[in-house]
Amino acid sequence: MKVLIIGSGGREHVLAWKINQSPRVKKVFCAPGNGGIAEIAQCVDIPADNITALAEFARRQEIDLTIVGPEAPLVAGIVDLFQKEGLKIFGPSQYAAQLEGSKIFAKEFMKRRNIPTADFEVFETQEGAKTFLEKVRFPVVIKADGLAAGKGVFICETWEEANSAVDKIMTERIFKDAGARIVVEECLRGEEASILAVSDGGSYILLASSQDHKRIFDDDRGPNTGGMGAYSPAPLVTDVMMKKIEARIIDPAIRGMLQEGHPFKGVLYAGLMITAEGPKVLEFNVRFGDPETQAILPRLQSDLLDIVMASCEGRLNTLETRWDNRSCVCVVMSSGGYPGNYEKGKEITGLEESAKDLSCLIFHAGTKRVGKKILTSGGRVLGVTALGSGIAQAIETAYKAVEIVRFDRCFFRRDIGAKALGQNASADPTARV
């Protein structure tokens, strides 16, 4: 089979790495790819959001399967376009992708389906939002409605912070049209977890649990990012908690989309807050998480191609998944200044030396190859990933590798996985429905 992977980040690198392990795969293409992906796949110079050119390429190259990494082409309708052209593609329809493409769509869907989430109000004007903010209890969370690369969420402790967030989104238009409407919701308390389910529209399988680290600084301080690291499994998600998540969130979401006439195919990502009242949804995404995928897929012993094809063909209920019992930790190395302004073109060294440890994997995100050199080309540059017999060993191995890799003004959090230490690890929380 010939497989096309769309995207250029660490998520796409681990997808290419895992798909390449399937004995049925003859060749992997990646559009546009990055410096690391180029070592294991043929990179194609087509942007991920140019869905027409991607369809033409898939048709011309007789691609057997396309896997979409980022959310933007899904929200733009790439699945609908490919299916119209008779091309097999893994991901949700444009309508179903609104679960990520519109916070308001997702919140209203959850309300209809009785899926637990934070109480919320929707506003189309800053005047209405500010009037509402005069009478709420803080903290509150303010979200841009549309796609904002994981940065459209503001946790506001005071009225002044909330007022500023409304101005940034609706007046300064820092997220452009994505901020035409906003959601103001209660701030949930607890600990976060990420649960990914692969669905074929009716049946689904749950992937291993994970926990992301969204804030830029240690101890969850500073602005939100696309993700500074992740680990799997999340001890917080015990077998009992996973059953609650499945019964209250995943199953109602998959069944709800089916009952409303828009079967959800692909990956449904539930970003959760585990509160004293049980699990509640912070957000839905409609694709593999980044960097959660870098911590989850190295633990997957089953053939990922089999799972993806079963999703496309409506037969996930025939599959069983196998998982490595070891823990996995991914530490993101970013460019100094991220998620704000940062410089590009910094040479990266130590990659070969750090990869000598067979339990350590380095997934490229914001990199490019120039001659024999690998240079930085984005905010999140690398995902240094390690497996270990326990979370402590995985953390130790990952950070040993991080200390070897170097580029000017590199930055990383030093507490990835720390929350898992001291918690009692549960049995591997995976399931099949």
Q: Could you please report the per-residue DSSP string of 129-195? A: HHHHHTTSPSPEEEEESS--TT--EEEESSHHHHHHHHIIIIIS-TTGGGGSSEEEEE---SEEEEE
- Every domain range in the chain assigned CATH 3.30.470.20: 191-432
Contacts of residue 372, Cβ cutoff 8 Å, sequence gap at least 6: none
Question: How much is the pLDDT for 357?
Answer: 65
The domain defined by 191-432 folds into D-amino Acid Aminotransferase; Chain A, domain 1 (3.30.470)
**Do residues 249 and 115 make contact, with C-beta atoms less than 8 angstroms apart?**
yes
Quote the CA–CA distance of 143 and 197 in Å, as a whole number. Answer: 24
Residue 285: beta bridge partners? Answer: 269
Give the count of beta carbons closer than 10 Å to the beta carbon of residue 215: 17
The domain defined by 2-90 folds into Rossmann fold (3.40.50)
CATH number of 125-180: 3.30.1490.20
DSSP 53-72: HHHHHHHHTT-SEEEE-SHH
- Every domain range in the chain assigned CATH 3.40.50.20: 2-90
Phi, psi values for residue 309, rounded to 5°: -65, -40
- Residue-wise pLDDT tens for the chain (433 aa)? 999 999 999 999 999 999 999 999 999 999 999 999 999 999 999 999 999 999 999 999 999 999 999 999 999 999 999 999 999 999 999 999 999 999 999 999 999 999 999 999 999 999 999 999 999 999 999 999 999 877 889 999 999 999 999 999 999 999 999 999 999 999 999 999 999 999 999 999 999 999 999 999 999 999 889 999 999 999 999 999 999 999 999 999 999 999 999 999 999 999 999 999 999 999 999 999 999 999 999 999 999 999 999 999 999 999 999 999 999 999 999 999 999 999 999 999 999 888 776 679 999 999 999 999 999 999 999 999 999 999 999 999 999 999 999 999 999 999 999 999 865 333 333 332 2
Question: How much is the pLDDT for 358?
Answer: 64
Quote the CA–CA distance of 335 and 148 in Å, as a whole number. Answer: 19
The pTM assigned to this predicted structure is 0.93
- Every domain range in the chain assigned CATH 3.30.1490.20: 125-180
Q: Return the residue matching tokens 């509150």.
A: 140
Question: How much is the pLDDT for 427?
Answer: 35
Quote the CA–CA distance of 99 and 74 in Å, as a whole number. Answer: 11
60: exposed, middle or buried (Cβ count in 10 Å: 0-12, 13-18, 19+): exposed
- The radius of gyration of the chain's CA atoms, rounded to the nearest angstrom, is 21
**Do residues 263 and 257 make contact, with C-beta atoms less than 8 angstroms apart?**
yes
| Both tokens assigned to 201 | 């529209």
**Do residues 209 and 240 make contact, with C-beta atoms less than 8 angstroms apart?**
no
